[in-house]
Amino acid sequence: MKLRADHDRLRERLGALNAGSAGRVRQVDTYYDHPTRSFADTDEALRIRRETAESEDESEDDEAGDRTRVTYKGPLLEAESKTRAELETGVADGETLASILGKLGFEAAATVEKDRERFRYDGYTVTLDTVSGLGEFVEVETEAETIEPAREGAVDVLEQLGLDPDTQIRRSYLGLLLDDAE
C-alpha cells in the first residue's frame, strides 16, 4: 500500500515503534513499451532497475553495492491494494539487456528516479520514497501467499504509523509521472 506522507514525522514514529533500519538506496527504473501490445491497456510493466546502496545495514539480507534487475509486473490482482504478481531476476549487465530489448523492438518509455529508505516492522517493509518530480511517499509491503491477511496487516501498520489507509494511491510512480506529464 502506498500513500503520500511526511518523512520526518514517519521517521519519528518508526523510531518509537522500534522499527529496524534496512538501509538506503538510489533507484533508477527504466520502463519499456512492448512492440506489439500496450502495457498500459494490459496493466503490465517491464522495467530495468539500476540500484545503488547509499548506506549499509548490518542485517544478513542487506544487499550493499550496485545491482541491476529486470522485472515483469502483472496486472493488479484486487481492487483494495496494489497487489500484483512480480517476476524479477538479477542482470549482470543492464546496458546489454537494454540493447537486447531495443533489438527486439521494445522502446524505453519513461524513467522513474527515487531515493528509498527502508525499515522492517512487524513482518513488513516500510519504505520512505522520495520520487523525482512527485515528492514523498510511504509504501508498506510484504510477500504473501494469501492477499487479504497481508493487506489487513499493511492497513494495521499504516494505522500504527498514524496514517489513513483509505488515502492509499493505487497508481504506480510511473503512472503518476505520466499523469503529471499530460
Is 173 in the active site? no
| C-alpha span between 39 and 19 (Å, rounded) | 36
Residue 55 CA, chain-centre distance (Å), reads 18
pTM: 0.84
Pick from 52-66, 72-86, 136-150, 157-171: least confident: 52-66
Residue 49 CA, chain-centre distance (Å), reads 10
Query: What's the DSSP call for residue 123?
Result: T
pLDDT of residue 59: 43
Closest CA to 17 of 143, 158, 150: 158
| C-alpha span between 107 and 62 (Å, rounded) | 32
Q: For residue range 30-41, what is the model confidence (pLDDT) as tens digits?
A: 999 999 999 989
pLDDT of residue 60: 40
Which of these is catalytic: 31, 32, 124, 173?
31
Report all structural domains of the chain as residue ranges with CATH numbers, in order of start. Answer: 2-181 (2.40.320.10)
Contact by Cβ (8 Å): 122, 157: yes
Band of the pLDDT at 58, cuts 50, 70, 90? very low
Q: For residue range 60-106, what is the model confidence (pLDDT) as tens digits?
A: 444 557 999 999 999 988 777 777 889 999 999 999 999 999 999 99
Q: What is the mean pLDDT of residues 160-182?
A: 89
Q: Could you tell me whether strands 45-55 and 2-4 are parallel, antiparallel, or unpaired per DSSP bridges?
A: unpaired
Give the chain's mean pLDDT.
90
In terms of C-beta density within 10 A (0-12 exposed, 13-18 middle, 19 or more buried), how is residue 91 classed? middle
